[in-house]
Amino acid sequence: MRLKVVLLGEGRVGKTSILFRYIRNEFQEKQQSTLQASYMDKTVEVGGTKASLSVWDTAGQERFHALGPIYYRDADGALLVYDITDGDSFVKVKKWTKELRKIVGPDISICIAGNKIDLERNRQVNEKEVLEYAKSVGASHFYTSAKQNLGLEECFKELAGKMIKR
Ligand code: GTP
Q: Which of 31, 67, 83, 155 to mutate to test the pocket of ligand 1 (most atoms within 8 A of CB)?
A: 31
ipTM: 0.99
Q: pLDDT tens across 12-40, in order?
A: 999 999 999 999 999 999 999 999 999 99
Judge contact between 37 and 67, C-beta under 8 A: yes
Specify the pairing of strand 2-8 against strand 38-46.
unpaired
89 close to 9: Cβ distance less than 8 angstroms: yes
Give phi and psi for 111, each to the nearest 5: -120, 145
Q: Which residues pair with 55 in a beta bridge?
A: 5, 40
The 10s digit of each residue's pLDDT in 50-87 is 999 999 999 999 999 999 999 999 999 999 999 999 99
Q: What is the pTM of this model?
A: 0.97
17 lines ligand 1 (CB under 6 A): yes
Nearest-atom index, ligand 1, CA of 13:
7
Residue 11 has pLDDT above 90, yes or no: yes
The pLDDT value recorded for residue 166 is: 86
Strand 109-115 versus strand 38-46 pairing type:
unpaired
Strand partners, 142: 113
User: Which band of pLDDT confidence, cut at 50, 70 and 90, is reported for residue 6?
Assistant: very high
Cβ–ligand 1 distance for 58 under 6 Å, the answer no
Question: Alpha carbon of 119 to those of 108, 146, 148: distances in Å?
Answer: 30, 11, 10
CA 140/CA 113 separation, integer angstroms: 9
Per-residue confidence at 93, pLDDT binned at 50, 70, 90?
very high
Which atom of ligand 1 is the closest one to the Cα of 35? 2
Give the per-residue pLDDT at 46: 94
* Residues near 56 by beta carbon (within 8 Å), at least 6 away in sequence: 4, 5, 6, 7, 37, 38, 39, 71, 75
Residues facing 78 on adjacent strands: 6, 110
Q: Quick: pLDDT tens for 112-159.
A: 999 999 999 999 999 999 999 999 999 999 999 999 999 999 999 999
Neighbour tally for 134: CB within 10 Å: 20
Residue 92 pLDDT > 90: yes
Q: Residue 120 corresponds to which amino acid? A: E
| Secondary structure string (H, E, C) spanning 85-133 | CCHHHHHHHHHHHHHHHHHCCCCCEEEEEEECHHHHHHCCCCHHHHHHH
Cβ–ligand 1 contact at 59 (below 6 Å): yes
Angle at CA 157, nearest 5°, toward 12 and 121? Answer: 40
Is any atom of ligand 1 closer than 6 Å to the C-beta of 112? Answer: no
